Copies of this chain bind each other. A is one copy, B any other.
Amino acid sequence: MDLLGDWWTPLVLREAFYGIRRFDEFQRGLGIARNTLSDRLHRLVDEGLLEKQPYQTEPTRYDYVLTAKGRDFFSVILAMTRWGDDWLAGEAGPPITFHHTSCGHDTHAEVVCAHCREPMRAEDTVARMGPGYPARLAERPDVVRRFAR
């Protein structure tokens, strides 16, 4: 979670998914302070979710463009948007809708099991300690208890 900083980060990424590339357009769309935006953009570049592409010289100015790692974060934005539509949208309905060009339908996202393709819900999913679990924590009684069910 650390690498994402604060919640401005997914909002910046969301703008990028909508096709925004220029500093000033991010700034206008988000109504965010320029130094905060600059900090978030640089963090996303450092973490490899955005890359800078020069679009003019003297002075050099950059577009901020999604990398493959950044584009893949769209799935998280879609899951957040779906949750927000279900639980936060008012009577007017969702603020944004999605059209899936590859199937041609207006649609929304669902989070499903890669094996059975049915929704994964908290009540039918068990979390287990994986191979990359931090070794320094793996023996702690409260950690063991958390995963033992």
A76 CA to B93 CA, complexed, in Å: 20
How many chain A residues sit at the interface, stated as a range, is 35 or more
Q: Beta-carbon contacts of A101-144 to B below 8 Å, as 1s and 0s? A: 11101011111111111111111111111111110000000110
Q: Is A34 close to B, CB under 8 A?
A: no
Nearest Cβ distance between residue A1 and chain B, in whole angstroms? 4
How many chain copies?
Answer: 2
Q: From the candidates B86, B120, B123, name the one contacting A98 in the complex (CB within 8 A).
A: B120
Nearest Cβ distance between residue A78 and chain B, in whole angstroms? 5
17 contacts between A and B (CB under 8 A): A15-B146, A17-B127, A29-B142, A76-B79, A89-B132, A93-B131, A94-B130, A96-B127, A97-B127, A97-B130, A98-B126, A100-B116, A100-B120, A102-B124, A107-B114, A109-B120, A111-B111
Interface residues of A (CB under 8 A from B): 1-8, 10-11, 15, 17-20, 25, 28-29, 66, 69, 71-76, 78-80, 82-83, 86-90, 92-103, 105, 107-134, 142-143, 146-147, 149
